[in-house]
Amino acid sequence: MNRLNELEIAILQVIIKDNQDSYPFLKVHFPYLFVKSREFTGVGEYSNFGYSKEVDESDINTQLTSSKRLLVDNLKYEVCYVLAITNGKIDFLEIVTNGNESLDEKIINFKLV
């Protein structure tokens, strides 16, 4: 069981805020998230989540993003991100670069603008 890193926390917070009217349960689920695994693809990353407490499931299956742009130092283009909701639970976060740039496994300097 791994803790969420700063990047994951920041992205999840903006997605939750931008989608709070349609998906208010996300804010309730957030404190119970942990990272089950991280998969690096070279141009992106998948953060797969689990819960430290049981939460209700539902028939909500969707993908969410935010209006904020993710800028990472040393990358020419902004980075895209999407959060997958499966059966009403936060399932995974996908982060991917635009173009052929590599995504470092440890992103330290980033901005959501």
The tens digit of pLDDT for each residue in 3-14 reads: 999 999 999 999
The reported pTM is 0.93
Residue 64: domain span: 6-112
pLDDT at residue 97 is higher than 80: yes
Residue 58 buriedness (CB in 10 A; 0-12 / 13-18 / 19+): exposed
Residue 110 — pLDDT band, cuts 50, 70, 90? very high
Number of domains in the chain: 1
Q: Is the sign of the CA dihedral 7, 91, 101, 77 positive or negative?
A: negative
User: Is 1 part of a structural domain of the chain?
Assistant: no
Identify the residue with better confidence: 73 or 106.
Answer: 73
User: Is 93 part of a structural domain of the chain?
Assistant: yes
Rounded average pLDDT over 55-76:
94
User: Is 10 part of a structural domain of the chain?
Assistant: yes
